[in-house]
Copies of this chain bind each other. A is one copy, B any other.
Amino acid sequence: MRILSIFLIFLFSLGGSAQNSNDSLSIRVKNLSELEEALGNSNPGDTIIMANGKWTDVGIQIIANGEKNLPIVIMAEEKGKVFIEGESFLKIGGDFIVVEGLIFQNGYTPNNTVIDFKVDNDHIANNSRVTNCVIEGFTQPSRETQDRWIEFWGRNNQLDHSYIAGKSNSGPTLRVYLKGNENINTHHQIVHNYFGPRPRKGGPHAETIQIGSSETSMTPAYVNIADNLFYRCNGEVEIISSKSNFNTFKNNVFFESEGSLVLRHGNYASIDGNIFIGNDNSEFIGGIRVINTGHWITNNYFYKLKGTEFRSPLAVMNGIPKSPLNRYNQVTDVVAAYNSFVDTKSPWHFSVGSNTDQAGVLPASEIRSARPERVLMANNLVYNEKVQESPIVAYDTVDGVTFKNNILNYENKGSVQDSGIVRKDFKIKKISEYLYVPEHDFNVTYHGFDFEKIDKDLLGRDRTGNNSPGAFKLPVAEQVNLFKQENYGPKWFQPEIIGKKGKTLRVSTSTEFLRKLEEAEAGDILELAEGDYKFESSISISKGIIIRSQNKSDKAILDFSETNLSSAFKLKPKASLKIQDVILQGNSRMNAFQTLDDNMSVAYNLWIKGSEVSDFSELLQVSKGSFADTISIADSKFKNLKGGLSLAEEIDDKGEYNAEFVIIKNSSFENISTEVLNYYRGGYDESTIGGTLIFKGNTVKNSGVAQETEVLLRTRGIVNLELANNTFLNNPVKYIAILWGAKGQEPVNNTIKNSGEIKVEENLKQKLMY
């Protein structure tokens, strides 16, 4: 049955591809079978309208062929009113298909992709487009289940003006596949999208975009990623992992995203006119990391970035001589010119990853000793408000880099001195939020081989003639309207604002507590009157909630001591629990906090402040696959526990770990019979440089008495660690902790009495992951 709908279609004015011709038909469909029938009958130029409402558990497969200027369009009846939910997906296999205006939410894909530019090997999309769509939180129930939300196959496909956010599970958000001659020389366009928050995953496989893989890294991909916003894409150390040749990255904004644009495999990338904004927010926010040959990095702007090494604003790596296909080729023939670095702590890091000192624990094929060669740094501009020691951090001899006309506003006090790094006093002025340019021009630029091709600046203005170093041709008008969040993604869609203020709900009995917890919205505060709250069931948390005593000096008591529960609190996906000024009383059979055993689809957080916790088995017991973004403990007391924080379930040695940040300050631990902390990351892999422990100002006493306990604070494989100003008293263990010297870990100012030693092991032998 074919229903003809006659009404006007306003097609978002997004260029010619979605325009309807006079002879073409529009048909409105209300369910999957109608859609399938309409597709089966479709002709070039036809439009299929998906009715407003929820489409649940739909596997949409589009096998059809439009023509140039006569695409087949599948679109939402009204923008933002067609919801794809449940176990659903969309696959496109054919030529000149356009899909518009769908929102994927409240569900997940039952197979490997949410949107796939391929139905099967005989039906691959070409010249097709997904536009004005939203995928939000469409994440797998289990974080360990791997999928990709968008898979590119074929050639000349496009994703534009879409909003993509909230992928928590394993697998890059968007991946371009290059296997097979049908899928190379792609010229795919990924433009004007809003890649919203992707939470930290804890381990690899959480890129926002991956283009190819090491096995296809020799292919010419020609993927264009331009004019996108990457907003807090924190999944892992690589926001974009370029693993193929001839890709371009132009005019994207990377906003407070913990990771880098990484040229991981493949060669001849063009990275031009991108903006990296760190706002000094985190040391995890990086810039561009360079591996391989022939890249041109021009007109980029780096602002308030304080990352180092892998996460430097510009990290140029050492390679492995004659590297295996999946490891690190030497950097050669790279040009970095006309970039601006404003208030970046140390803008340029060379020979990052040099590990010649680890020859004892790594095979020869892992030693990155091949220094960058034939690298040209020219016409770059570095401004730091505060005086910095050196613009260059070098992990090996810098003998393969030529410097020409790089301008600094402060004295270079580093070991790498070069006449091509010039100090000039200059001031900057603001031209837009985050963007600053020199007040006056320098009237000198270096002209290198092929530099005439750098003919535009970051704003697209002509560079020929009188040129300027840095990302902007000077002068620049005072008001440049360069970066606005709302310019990215669908115009009709506004992402939820994170971190809104909650309301306070007062409770004085445990019944009331449970009822109000149920009713509370994310961000609300449960404020407890003084008293003893006896619970007979676990308290489940699956949203942001603060539990605190009304009166600090008369702490409410949450009492679980007379139950047979497995835990006092059950932390579910999206739990973000703050406990403040509360007394938690248990018994030795139960844990204080515990995650679900599986389907911990989204990360959780746990804050404990000014509280007292006693008489439990474990303080926190987590499951494999669960992930805490932050566990923060401050000003609290823990007593009579079997164990402390147990974050060591990721034992596959694939780089995964159970928590990103563990921060324990000014707290006391007494009579913890086994480990106070067991925090583990296994597998040798520089792409997981995470796991952070801050353990400062704490007192641990009479703990670790259980016979099998050898180490009080287990932190094996955790990369970032501070251990300072603690007191350890009468803990009968061999080691308080074994630190990882090569990662710069060292104990500072700890007082140790009768408590074993703190050992520093320079190199940690780890299992190779690949």
Within 8 A of B (CB), among A71-91: none
Chain A positions 455 through 468: 1 when the CB is less than 8 Å from some CB of chain B, otherwise 0: 00000000000000
- Taking a contact as CB atoms under 8 Å apart, the answer to whether A329 and B218 are in contact is yes
The distance from the CB of A600 to the nearest CB of chain B, in whole angstroms, is 33
The distance from the CB of A336 to the nearest CB of chain B, in whole angstroms, is 13
Given known pairs A218-B329, A365-B365, A449-B182, the reply for A322 and B324 (CB within 8 Å) is yes
Within 8 Å of chain B (Cβ to Cβ): is A260? no
Given known pairs A322-B325, A325-B322, A326-B322, the reply for A268 and B220 (CB within 8 Å) is yes
Q: Give complex CA distance A735, B179 in Å.
A: 53
Given known pairs A181-B335, A335-B181, the reply for A267 and B218 (CB within 8 Å) is yes
- Taking a contact as CB atoms under 8 Å apart, the answer to whether B324 and A219 are in contact is no
**Cβ-neighbour of A294 out of B184, B215, B374 (below 8 A):** B184
The distance from the CB of A211 to the nearest CB of chain B, in whole angstroms, is 16
Within 8 A of B (CB), among A176-232: 179-182, 184, 214-215, 218-220
Q: How many residues of A contact B (CB 8 A)?
A: 32
Q: Give complex CA distance A770, B321 in Å.
A: 11
**Cβ-neighbour of A449 out of B181, B245, B335 (below 8 A):** B181
Contacts of A245 in B (CB 8 A): 218
Within 8 Å of chain B (Cβ to Cβ): is A293? yes
- Taking a contact as CB atoms under 8 Å apart, the answer to whether A218 and B181 are in contact is no
The distance from the CB of A598 to the nearest CB of chain B, in whole angstroms, is 33
**Cβ-neighbour of A374 out of B180, B218, B292, B326 (below 8 A):** B180
Q: Give complex CA distance A325, B323 in Å.
A: 5
The distance from the CB of A293 to the nearest CB of chain B, in whole angstroms, is 5
- Taking a contact as CB atoms under 8 Å apart, the answer to whether A294 and B219 are in contact is yes
Contacts of A219 in B (CB 8 A): 267, 293-294
Chain A positions 295 through 339: 1 when the CB is less than 8 Å from some CB of chain B, otherwise 0: 000000000000000000000000000111111011011010000
- Taking a contact as CB atoms under 8 Å apart, the answer to whether B214 and A322 are in contact is yes
With both beta carbons as reference points, the residue of chain B lying nearest to A326 in the complex is identified as B322
Within 8 Å of chain B (Cβ to Cβ): is A450? yes
**Cβ-neighbour of A218 out of B214, B292, B326, B449 (below 8 A):** B292
- Taking a contact as CB atoms under 8 Å apart, the answer to whether A181 and B333 are in contact is yes
Contacts of A770 in B (CB 8 A): 322
**Cβ-neighbour of A181 out of B184, B215, B327, B450 (below 8 A):** B450
Contacts of A330 in B (CB 8 A): 215
Q: Give complex CA distance A655, B325 in Å.
A: 26
Q: Give complex CA distance A332, B335 in Å.
A: 31
Contacts of A335 in B (CB 8 A): 181
- Taking a contact as CB atoms under 8 Å apart, the answer to whether A365 and B450 are in contact is no
Chain A positions 364 through 379: 1 when the CB is less than 8 Å from some CB of chain B, otherwise 0: 0100000000100000
* Interface residues of A, Cβ cutoff 8 Å to B: 179-182, 184, 214-215, 218-220, 245, 267-268, 292-294, 322-327, 329-330, 332-333, 335, 365, 374, 449-450, 770
Apart from the given pairs A219-B267, A324-B324, 10 other A-B contacts in the complex at a CB distance below 8 Å: A179-B332, A179-B333, A179-B374, A181-B294, A181-B335, A184-B294, A184-B333, A218-B267, A322-B327, A323-B325
Q: 3 nearest interchain CB pairs?
A: A322-B325, A322-B324, A181-B333
Q: Give 23 CB contacts A-B under 8 Å.
A: A179-B332, A179-B333, A179-B374, A180-B333, A181-B333, A184-B294, A184-B333, A215-B330, A218-B218, A218-B293, A218-B294, A219-B267, A219-B293, A219-B294, A322-B324, A322-B325, A322-B326, A322-B327, A323-B324, A323-B325, A324-B325, A324-B365, A365-B365
